[in-house]
Chain A
Amino acid sequence: MIIDLRDYAGEFCSSRTDPSIPALRQCVRNALLQGDIVQVSRKRIKSITVSFLDEWLGPIIVELGLERVRKEVRFDPPLEPILAKQLERSSRLRTQQPG
């Protein structure tokens, strides 16, 4: 399955309150539960924030596990180190006592 982020969230995937996030989350969750690999295209967006990633994929990481999301949700181009690290951070912050 291919998701073009621009079609959902526009050029800037920025705020954690972006109205596109629930639909994006549902889309990825359904695909993973059906055994699909999700290809996320970032080619037509200008930026994505760690807050957006956390709000979008954080609940799925808690539900399905970090390794599964890392393996089955593939970004094109790949996430830069600070963004990629957010997946791990989302898992950690959402499964431990928050500060």
Chain B
Amino acid sequence: MIHLEDIAESILQGKPLLPLLKDSSENGIFNALSDLGMADIEIQAVLEELLLNAREHGQNKNIMIYMGCHVGWFFAVIRDQGPGIHMTLPKNPRLADTKGKSAAALIRLAVEEGITGTGTVGRGIGLHILSELVSSRRAESLVISDGGLFVQVGDVFLERYARIPTDGTLVAIKVEIQK
């Protein structure tokens, strides 16, 4: 069994275990999911939301999407090379409690509903619906930003330092393929 962190680290080390999509757009995600036999509206919606995050918060810099299946599990990774969650989240003027928090704790905060780097009403959706998907399926997610790593397995959360820090943000998901 391949672990999600191994997949994330393989990408950060430049030796990805998953194929890179040539088309990192909504259509690219749709076609890749179809090719993998994963016509799943909820996964499509979550991946598109993460793509929107990468475009906006990652300043549309070098967005890479990786996707593949392995022994009954679907894997996807979206990586951007923007400033990272630790830089965008504290810009929200309504979030007074970001000072002194670790990079992993900031990622944990960003996963909560309505928490966003923009401070705009209604925003802060992408990482939160990823968390909801992981809670509602047999699934895992992993977010690396700066030196922080945040993992969710079902309803269990883990924060720690990343073994391989990254510029920008990397979001990875693993979902059991429904038969």
Contact = CB atoms under 8 A, between A and B. Distances in A.
B94 A98 contact: yes
A54 B128 CA distance: 14
B41 A80 contact: yes
Contact of B27 (A12, A58, A92): A12
B144 interface: no
Contacts of A81: 42, 136
B44 A47 contact: yes
Given A14-B26, A82-B42, A98 B132 contact: no
B74 interface: no
Interface stretch (B58-66, B99-107, B113-121, B156-164): B113-121
Contact of A82 (B26, B30, B115, B133): B133
Nearest to A95: B121
Chain A interface category by residue count: 20 to 34
Given A99-B92, A99-B114, A51 B42 contact: no
Interface in A8-50: 11-12, 14-16, 46-50
Contacts of A83: 41-42, 45
Given A82-B45, A98-B120, A93 B26 contact: no
B28 to A, nearest CB: 11
Interface in B39-95: 41-42, 44-46, 48-49, 52, 92, 94-95
Contacts of B49: 49-51
Interface in B108-145: 112-116, 119-126, 129, 132-133, 136
B162 to A, nearest CB: 25
Nearest to B39: A46
B52 A14 contact: yes
Given A47-B26, A94-B122, A99-B112, 14 more contacts: A48-B45, A51-B49, A51-B125, A51-B126, A82-B46, A82-B136, A83-B41, A90-B122, A92-B114, A94-B121, A98-B114, A98-B116, A98-B120, A99-B95
14 contacts: A11-B27, A15-B52, A49-B52, A51-B126, A54-B125, A82-B45, A82-B132, A93-B121, A94-B121, A97-B94, A98-B116, A98-B121, A98-B122, A99-B124
Nearest 9 CB-CB pairings of A with B? A12-B26, A99-B115, A99-B114, A98-B121, A93-B114, A47-B44, A82-B42, A49-B48, A46-B30
